[in-house]
């Protein structure tokens, strides 16, 4: 064997992942025009109706579908909360009217 085959190349160790504070600092320092903040995944036109040509395309389209569905679920959650509050206040008003009718009937 040659001397080169015996030598092992020592690679530098990987850097530590950033801390939460470092990530937050990086995000807060990003420009508003950063593509991450500009990309609107709620647009249905992003999802192609064609068959994906590769596995990575399929995964990307699945990710877009997931994000869109998640946004729809968040909207539905907000609407349900509003309807719940409306029904709750209507129930309280109805209870007061019933009490007034009971008092008037006595």
pLDDT digits 0-9 by tens, 22-69: 988 988 888 877 777 766 655 555 555 556 677 778 888 888 889 999
Among candidate residues 72, 69, 48, the one with its CA nearest the CA of residue 58: 48
Closest CA to 57 of 22, 76, 65, 29: 65
Q: What pLDDT sits at residue 7? A: 77
Distance CA 89, CA 83 (A): 10
DSSP helix/strand/coil, 16: coil
Contact 61, 47 (CB under 8 A): yes
pTM of the entire predicted model? 0.42
CA distance 19 to 25: 10
Residues 58-84 have a mean pLDDT of: 91
Q: Please tell me the predicted confidence (pLDDT) of residue 98.
A: 93
74: pLDDT strictly greater than 90: yes
pLDDT recorded at residue 12: 87
Q: How many CB atoms lie within 10 A of CB 27?
A: 11
Q: For residues 81-106, give the mean pLDDT.
A: 93
């Amino acid at each position: 064997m040659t001397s080169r085959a015996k030598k092992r190349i020592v690679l530098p160790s990987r850097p530590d992942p950033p801390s939460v504070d470092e990530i937050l600092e990086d995000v807060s320092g990003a420009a508003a025009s950063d593509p991450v903040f500009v990309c609107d995944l709620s647009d249905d036109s992003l999802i192609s109706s064609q068959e994906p040509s590769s596995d990575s395309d399929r995964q990307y389209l699945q990710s877009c579908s997931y994000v869109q569905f998640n946004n729809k679920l968040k909207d539905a959650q907000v609407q349900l909360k509003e309807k719940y509050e409306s029904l709750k206040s209507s129930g309280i008003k109805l209870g007061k009217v019933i009490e007034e009718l009971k008092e008037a009937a006595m």
